[in-house]
Amino acid sequence: MSAQVIGGLDPTNVVISISLIAALLIAGQIFKVLDGPGIAAAGVLGIIVGVLGHWSWLVILLTFLMSSYIATKWGWQQKKELGMCESEDGHRGWRNVAANGFLPGVVALIAFIFAEWTMFNWLFVAAVAVAAADTWASEFGCLDPRVRLIRNGMLVPPGTNGGTSRLGQKAALGGAALVSIVALVVGWVPATGNINEAGVFSAMASGDWAGGMLLALITTCIGYIGCQIDSILGAAFENRGLMTKGGVNAASIAIGVLLCGLIILSFPLI
């Protein structure tokens, strides 16, 4: 039987999750990562992700939140001069929380309904990996003066929807990798059970580090691909006013989750 992760209303999971949610809210307030409505939205999302999902998912979410804040503040003066700051002090609002957190929240809710946290763990990781890849690509990529439109390679000003750069591409890969590595570490801590010898993918996914590394590699690739999808949607629809920035983010994350689900269903990964 594959390793099982027990989440949801398990007492241990609830206690750890509530503690992490408190840490999330305190960190958001101290470092001004989020404004008031953003902190409220993060609290609700934290309850859904942790209490209905698993405490390790909150660690992944915290990693995304704090790393995104660092990416936002990186080169802050240059961004201000270029007019690319989303706010005066780098904080994010509830819309940003909703755009990046809606799909991870949905994954946690479905995991709770079906009482299956092992498989949905990697769908959750894929969702956050896409969000991290896109955020890092935007925040670091706008500092690269050579930005090209993804659909035709034409040089465009930094910050253009659908624009890509070498620095942004590297950052996208780094953001997705960070989330996946953290997921590998915290996801294997609560995993218990025996290795399933039915197949190589099943055995790998059952608690051994080789399997974890494979799954982390998959979600890293999905995160990077999701970032490219975000750029394509931005160039095709956001620039024409047919989609909002939040809508583009949510759509690219949804595609990443679906891609991860197809891979898991196509191979006995769990």
Instruction: List the pLDDT tens digit at each of the 270 positions of the chain.
Output: 234 555 678 888 899 999 999 988 887 777 777 888 888 998 999 999 999 999 999 999 999 988 998 998 888 888 877 777 665 666 778 888 898 999 999 999 999 999 888 889 999 999 999 999 999 999 999 898 889 999 888 888 887 888 999 999 999 999 999 999 999 888 765 554 333 333 333 333 444 567 778 889 999 999 999 999 999 999 999 988 899 989 999 999 999 999 999 998 887 655
Dihedral sign (CA 102, 107, 108, 113): positive
Compute the distance between CA of residue 84 and CA of residue 94 in angstroms, rounded to an integer.
19
Query: Domain-by-domain residue ranges, the chain?
Result: 11-266
Compute the distance between CA of residue 61 and CA of residue 260 in angstroms, rounded to an integer.
18
| 3-class state of residue 147 by DSSP | strand
Largest CA distance in the chain: 58
| Residue 154 CB coordination number (10 Å) | 11
3-state helix, strand, coil in the chain (%, to 5): 70, 5, 25
Compute the distance between CA of residue 6 and CA of residue 219 in angstroms, rounded to an integer.
21
Compute the distance between CA of residue 218 and CA of residue 240 in angstroms, rounded to an integer.
33
Compute the distance between CA of residue 89 and CA of residue 80 in angstroms, rounded to an integer.
10
Rounded to two decimals, the pTM is 0.87
**Nearest-CA neighbor of 58 among 154, 167, 190, 162?**
190
Compute the distance between CA of residue 112 and CA of residue 166 in angstroms, rounded to an integer.
40
